[in-house]
């Protein structure tokens, strides 16, 4: 009897297209396995991962210490809910608070859940501590923000595609221009309880703050008795060459949102951190999650923090990030006018594409065909955020392919002009 041929990439793409919701437009790469900075599809083709699952795979795919920690914990207990104490959550929270410099941490699952936790905490702090009349608290958010996909969060997004058809939205948010203190002061009011802000805007295209902005923002929040909440779901845990991106700005926020890399590339783990004076507005029953802080997640996240420290992955990002940016600037010089700008910090870069000369989506499709995985945002920016374990040799290979693809796009545009 003839054996059936093994399913190929087209078969798996067809299955997702047939049975999956149409809320994503993936690149036509069907991942079968991965290890560290490399990925292989079902046909065995090799790719360099220059995206790192939006920083979720900062440790590299299937880091052996994290896999071993998960296996050890799976042989004991994985989930019991927070109805009981466990022997993994406390050690994880203690290590996380020590690293970040906060009194307490509240564990959740996804980054969006951690942001929702921050919103609830800020509002309750506004009512109970600052004395804002009940139901009138307002939070300032930056235009171009990306804090998640819940109905509350998309309601204060400035991107029409994120919110179209999902209203009505929750009130209590006012927008200002990222990096512009005059705009922020104009948006503030007597019932402002917090500023929720990404230290670097990732989804907007890896947008860095102007020099001095966060120092001025920190001083303003202190004077006005407003909480400064830093969303470092993507930027935190070494991505920018420091443990936390706010360290580049010489400030300390009142609260911190973490996720993605916290799960070590194995599990969804997030956390909201603050000092007791802020966090203690929560009392039993006021907030929670069945899976938040589960034993398996805590064990993996604790080992992930140890790996980041002991294997000097934060320092690697600080050392290799400038090299990645240098190589990308070289491509910019060769591929004008296609590439308008290159910006970034640590192992996190955004390459700004001029839509009059090319498409970021077409570039990432061409890169994938040549064995390099990246992702576009808003059709105008190619993002690169490889695992922090990436080597200079792999950076050279990936950027070399990007150079070839960019130069080919420039030639195509000039021929059609």
In this structure, which CATH number among 3.90.1150.10, 3.30.365.10, 3.40.50.2300, 3.30.930.10 belongs to the domain 9-52+315-416? 3.90.1150.10
Asked if pLDDT for residue 397 goes beyond 70, the answer is yes
The domain limits of the chain are 9-52+315-416, 64-310
- Asked if CATH classification 3.40.640.10 holds for the domain at 64-310, the reply, yes or no, is yes
Catalytic residue check, 130:
no
Query: What is the mean predicted confidence (pLDDT) over 155-162?
Result: 94
Asked if pLDDT for residue 1 goes beyond 60, the answer is no
Contact at 8 Å (CB) between 393 and 56?
no
Phi first, then psi, for residue 127 (nearest 5°) are -75, -45
Query: What is the mean predicted confidence (pLDDT) over 305-313?
Result: 98
Choosing from 176, 231, 272, 402, the catalytic residue is 231
DSSP per residue over 148-170, as a string? -SSHHHHHT-S-HHHHTT-----
Phi first, then psi, for residue 268 (nearest 5°) are -75, 115
Catalytic residue check, 2:
no
Helices and strands in the chain, H and E counts: 13, 15
Choosing from 244, 254, 260, 272, the catalytic residue is 260
pLDDT at 412: 85
Strand arrangement, sheet containing 227-231: 104-108, 270-274, 255-258, 227-231, 192-198, 138-142, 173-176
Catalytic residue check, 146:
yes
Average model confidence (pLDDT) for the chain?
Answer: 96
Q: What is the pLDDT of residues 164-221, one digit of tens each?
A: 999 999 999 999 999 999 999 999 999 999 999 999 999 999 999 999 999 999 999 9
- At residue 329, the 3 state secondary structure works out as helix
Contact at 8 Å (CB) between 101 and 252?
yes
Strands 255-258 vs 270-274: parallel, antiparallel or unpaired: antiparallel
Choosing from 92, 146, 173, 244, the catalytic residue is 146
Q: What is the pLDDT of residues 78-111, one digit of tens each?
A: 999 999 999 999 999 999 999 999 999 999 999 9
């Amino acid at each position: 009897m003839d054996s059936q041929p093994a399913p190929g990439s087209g078969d798996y793409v067809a299955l997702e297209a047939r049975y999956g919701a149409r809320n994503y437009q993936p690149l036509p790469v069907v991942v079968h396995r991965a290890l560290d900075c490399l990925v292989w599809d079902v046909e065995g083709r090799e790719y360099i991962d220059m995206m790192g699952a939006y920083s979720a795979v900062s440790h590299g795919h299937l880091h052996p210490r994290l896999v071993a920690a998960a296996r050890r914990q799976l042989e004991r207990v994985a989930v019991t809910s927070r109805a009981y104490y466990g022997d993994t959550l406390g050690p994880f929270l203690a290590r996380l608070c020590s690293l970040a410099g906060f009194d307490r941490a509240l564990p959740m699952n996804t980054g969006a859940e951690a942001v929702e936790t921050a919103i609830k905490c800020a509002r309750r702090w506004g009512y109970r501590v600052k004395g804002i009349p009940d139901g009138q608290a307002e939070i300032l958010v930056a235009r171009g923000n990306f804090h998640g996909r819940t109905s509350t969060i998309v309601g204060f997004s400035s991107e029409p595609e994120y919110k179209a058809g999902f209203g009505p939205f929750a009130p209590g948010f006012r927008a200002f221009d990222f990096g512009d203190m005059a705009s922020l002061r104009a948006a503030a009011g007597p019932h402002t309880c917090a500023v929720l802000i990404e230290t670097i805007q990732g989804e907007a295209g890896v947008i860095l703050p102007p020099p001095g902005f966060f120092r001025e923002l920190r001083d303003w929040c202190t004077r006005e008795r407003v909480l400064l909440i830093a969303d470092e779901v993507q930027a935190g845990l070494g991505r920018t060459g420091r443990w936390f991106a706010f360290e580049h700005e010489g400030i300390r926020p009142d609260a911190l949102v973490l996720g993605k890399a916290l799960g070590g590339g194995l599990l969804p783990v997030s956390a909201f951190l603050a000092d007791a004076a802020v966090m203690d507005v929560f009392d039993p029953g006021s907030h929670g999650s069945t899976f938040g802080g589960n034993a398996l997640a805590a064990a993996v996240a604790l080992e992930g923090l140890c790996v980041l420290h002991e294997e000097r992955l934060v320092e690697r990002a600080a050392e290799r990030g400038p090299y990645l940016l240098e190589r990308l600037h070289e491509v910019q010089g060769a591929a004008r006018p296609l590439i308008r700008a290159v910006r970034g910090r640590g192992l996190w870069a955004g390459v700004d594409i001029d839509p009059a000369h090319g498409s970021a989506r077409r570039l990432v499709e061409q890169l994938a065909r040549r064995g390099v995985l990246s992702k576009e945002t808003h059709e105008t920016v190619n993002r690169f955020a490889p695992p922090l374990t990436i080597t200079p040799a792999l950076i050279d290979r990936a950027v070399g392919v990007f150079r070839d693809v960019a130069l080919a796009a420039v030639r195509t545009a000039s021929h059609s002009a």
